Structure 1
Amino acid sequence: MLALNTNLQKLVSIAQKTEKTGIGLMSGTSLDGLDIALCRFKGSGLQTKFSLINFITIPYADAFKNEVQQVFAHKEASLEKVCLLNEYIGDFHGQLVLQALNGWGIKPAEVDFIASHGQTIYHAPKRRHKQPGYSNGTLQIGDGDHLAVKTGILTISDFRQKHIATGGEGAPLALYGDVLLGSKIGENRILLNIGGIANLTWLPADGNYAGIVCTDVGPGNTLIDAACRKHFNKAYDEDSKIAFSGNINEDLLAALLDHPFFSEQAPKTTGPELFSLAYVEAAQQRSNTLNISNEDLVCTLSAFTAKTITDFISKNFEADNIRIFTSGGGARNIYIIEHLKKALPLVAIKTTGDLGIDPDAKEAILFALLGNEALCGESMAIGNNPAVLMGKISFPL
């Protein structure tokens, strides 16, 4: 019998370790920076024991953001730019990983694997693109081979493609980590992530996997942030100061809510391809609100995010003893959280910090967990999601 090559021998050795150290990388639609979570795992599946060792978000420079925004969420973009950015981002993210490890005093050889989400540049579920003969599609760039070579660490990447290949929409992948880290028998839980897009996972108290729902519900921070950049030259609405200084325009809010996405059956996915400033301007034209103040616009967009979340929860979950655990940048948006509490007065709302999961680090942690599952887990059937292990493996050499 032929022996395994060195790379495969190392892969088997890592997979068989009782304890693994992995890095989860997340770069979201907000393009704030790269989230880097250094995690330790014991076991897999429902027996997974997890701890967060270190976490950092390394902000992106404006020049990098501008490069990515040339191809981000555009139906038409330079194919050459997409090609070049795929290689560049993989190498760049590798540099940032090495920077983080150096700051923590940890050598790359002490890390078993990197699990990288990559940078989404286009998300095209069939329900949106409606092109005959084509299924769901999504594209994340930031090549895993470049990451592996730059860092010298085994890298697992491109997680969303397996989900699509087996009939899913490629999102939200939070489902698998939420179930493994957030479920509790006897308690109905919603893990609500408010990133660029808002998504949630419903974890019923009976523990029945068939009843679990994981879905996007609408915009999170993406429209608020875009309006802040355009009208106030700010990356986001810090402490919701702009939203609190304005008033909700009910006509505009009604127009923003007037879209088929909100009545589509879950699970469903969306992105900035739909919820963009062009979407807002079209709603303003329909509602004759193009001349409202910029403060009122940001206030109304904040209310829009909050209402799409609360409407979805109210319409779909009629259970007692619900607890919501928030994460993502929107978990710090005071305006949104206050609206959630007012609209859902009987629901306890906390952050995932109460579950021992850093709200800022949650998505990076979940990809590290998916990496651990890819190495030593078994596929799990959850709700109507495909039972798959996701991720493509890249060796350093």
Structure 2
Amino acid sequence: MIAKLAEIANKQERTILGMMSGTSLDGLDLALCVIRGAGKDTSLEVLQFKTISYAPSFVKEVKAIFSKPRIDLAKLCAMNAIIGSTHAAMVLDTLEDWNTPRKEVDLIASHGQTVYHAPQSLTGNYHVPNSTLQIGDGDHVAVKTGIITLSDFRQKHVAAGGEGAPLAVYGDRLLFSHKEEDRFLLNIGGISNFTYLPAAKYDTDNLLSTDTGPGNTLMNHYMQQHFNQAFDDDGQFASKGTVHPKLLEALFDHSFFALPTPKTTGPELFNLAYLTAAQKNSSTQKLAHEDVMATLAAFTVNSIALSIESIQTNDTIKKILVSGGGFHNSNLMYHLQKRLPSYIVNPLDELGVTSDAKEAILFALLANETIAGNPQGMMGGIGAPTVSLGKISLPY
């Protein structure tokens, strides 16, 4: 099997299945990619893409250990295996649906499932290092699929001095840099983050990737709690409400927003308890649900906008290219464009990449760079260590 790994490493073209499961827990994204070359010579073609929704019972099991400071350790141990095995079964079913033999897939790149993210900037405890935990064991994926698997990408980032997130900057730099345009690759998932790619004719040193604050997570949780719906479809509830200035001010009353970029966060901070505290502090506990949703949408939009506006850009065309679940919320997109009128806000699809597939694609790229064996291809800009990422699991 080591010989097989060496053979794949020496290829000029690799077929890699990228997999991503985010904090929104809405399903597993699978992107089958052909990647040619590595580093600055990388080119990528997406052969197939699919999102498989999780069963409600599976989501309930994950939520029992998700973003909680205290959990059942036996449950965590079991879910590490269960998630790995579940993802492996999804891979096998999907490859069958695509009529793609396993032998044609060189590698699987599996992000796994984040269950806790604890950078020092979030915990405030500088006596312990930055830490993050993704489960869904790579060995289970490799053994059950018979395909060499790279997983656990965030640990090397932390070990090398980073916060374990965001990782998008590495792949964004390889695929989406432009000579004439300043580009913000914005992903609105559970948490919002962007990669800033300055126009290459000016510089390539000031690129960075940062979280901005909440994406869909607070809105989704509020919808589940009060409307028994997974999310606010197309922003219908938020669009019926009115933004409450005092609640919005209270939502921004946290030290995270004063931190310099790049920075990371997660649902460990932005959750329903955070909203409850903000409502108490602003005396808005009796606010209509639609008004709360409108204010949460404004919270997401304004936290994104403030972070983008903090970046010193060049005198070029400035584009915001959006991916993630938030892209499908036309209310969010309308208000984001209104809030940032000097920027062109478009879907990532403009660049020939399906917005929903982006994160799965990026993990395929990370795996490709690791197997190519050149850490210099993994230059991530400000605050991002130059390291290869991912642990390798062999099927046997």
TM-score, normalising length from structure 2?
Answer: 0.97
Indicate conservation of the 8 Å contact 2:65/2:115, yes or no.
Answer: yes
> 1:368 is matched with which residue: 336, 340, 364?
364
In 2, Cα distance between the equivalents of 1:183 and 1:195? 22
- 1:351 to partner: Cα distance: 1.1
Indicate conservation of the 8 Å contact 2:122/2:256, yes or no.
Answer: no
- 1:25 to partner: Cα distance: 0.5
- 1:382 counterpart = 2:372: no
In 2, Cα distance between the equivalents of 1:186 and 1:118? 36
User: Which residue matches 1:3?
Assistant: none
> 2:328 is matched with which residue: 315, 332, 336?
332
User: Which residue matches 2:291?
Assistant: 296
- 1:266 to partner: Cα distance: 0.7
User: Which residue matches 1:115?
Assistant: 109
> 1:265 is matched with which residue: 242, 260, 263?
260
- 1:316 to partner: Cα distance: 2.3
User: Which residue matches 2:312?
Assistant: 317
- 1:305 counterpart = 2:300: yes
Give the secondary structure class of the aligned counterpart of 1:337. Answer: helix
1:50-69 alignment, distance < 5 Å? 50-69=44-63
Give the secondary structure class of the aligned counterpart of 1:200. Answer: strand
User: Which residue matches 1:134?
Assistant: 128
Give the secondary structure class of the aligned counterpart of 2:267. Answer: coil
- 1:317 to partner: Cα distance: 3.3
Indicate conservation of the 8 Å contact 2:198/2:313, yes or no.
Answer: no
What is the letter of the counterpart of residue 366 of structure 1?
L
The share of aligned pairs that are identical, in percent, is: 50
The superposition leaves residues 324-346 of structure 1 with CA deviations (integer Å, 9 ceiling, x where unpaired) of 10000001111111111111112
Q: How many residues align?
A: 391
In 1, Cα distance between the equivalents of 2:101 and 2:245? 55
Give the secondary structure class of the aligned counterpart of 2:82. Answer: helix
- 1:132 to partner: Cα distance: 4.5
The superposition leaves residues 126-155 of structure 1 with CA deviations (integer Å, 9 ceiling, x where unpaired) of 122233531100000000000001100000
Give the secondary structure class of the aligned counterpart of 1:299. Answer: helix
User: Which residue matches 2:81?
Assistant: 87
Q: Does 222-231 or 202-211 show the bigger shift?
A: 202-211
In 2, Cα distance between the equivalents of 1:131 and 1:340? 34
What is the letter of the counterpart of residue 224 of structure 1?
M
User: Which residue matches 1:241?
Assistant: 236
TM-score, normalising length from structure 1?
Answer: 0.97
What is the letter of the counterpart of residue 301 of structure 2?
A
What is the letter of the counterpart of residue 348 of structure 2?
T
1:185-224 alignment, distance < 5 Å? 185-206=179-200, 208-224=203-219
In 1, Cα distance between the equivalents of 2:126 and 2:336? 39
Give the secondary structure class of the aligned counterpart of 2:367. Answer: helix
- 1:255 counterpart = 2:253: no
Indicate conservation of the 8 Å contact 1:210/1:382, yes or no.
Answer: no
Indicate conservation of the 8 Å contact 1:154/1:396, yes or no.
Answer: yes
| Cα distance change, pair 333–224 in 1 and its aligned pair in 2 (3 A) | same
Indicate conservation of the 8 Å contact 2:182/2:313, yes or no.
Answer: no
CA RMSD of aligned residues (A): 1.0
Give the secondary structure class of the aligned counterpart of 1:289. Answer: coil
Q: Does 308-317 or 331-340 show the bigger shift?
A: 308-317
Give the secondary structure class of the aligned counterpart of 1:217. Answer: strand
- 1:377 to partner: Cα distance: 4.4
In 2, Cα distance between the equivalents of 1:281 and 1:173? 31
User: Which residue matches 2:337?
Assistant: 341
The superposition leaves residues 251-285 of structure 1 with CA deviations (integer Å, 9 ceiling, x where unpaired) of 10110011110110111000000000000000000
What is the letter of the counterpart of residue 241 of structure 1?
Q
Give the secondary structure class of the aligned counterpart of 1:360. Answer: helix
Indicate conservation of the 8 Å contact 2:183/2:199, yes or no.
Answer: yes
What is the letter of the counterpart of residue 380 of structure 2?
I
Give the secondary structure class of the aligned counterpart of 1:101. Answer: helix
Give the secondary structure class of the aligned counterpart of 1:324. Answer: strand
Indicate conservation of the 8 Å contact 1:23/1:38, yes or no.
Answer: yes
- 1:285 counterpart = 2:283: no
- 1:318 to partner: Cα distance: 4.3
The superposition leaves residues 339-384 of structure 1 with CA deviations (integer Å, 9 ceiling, x where unpaired) of 1111111211111111111100000000011111111142133323
Indicate conservation of the 8 Å contact 2:177/2:200, yes or no.
Answer: no
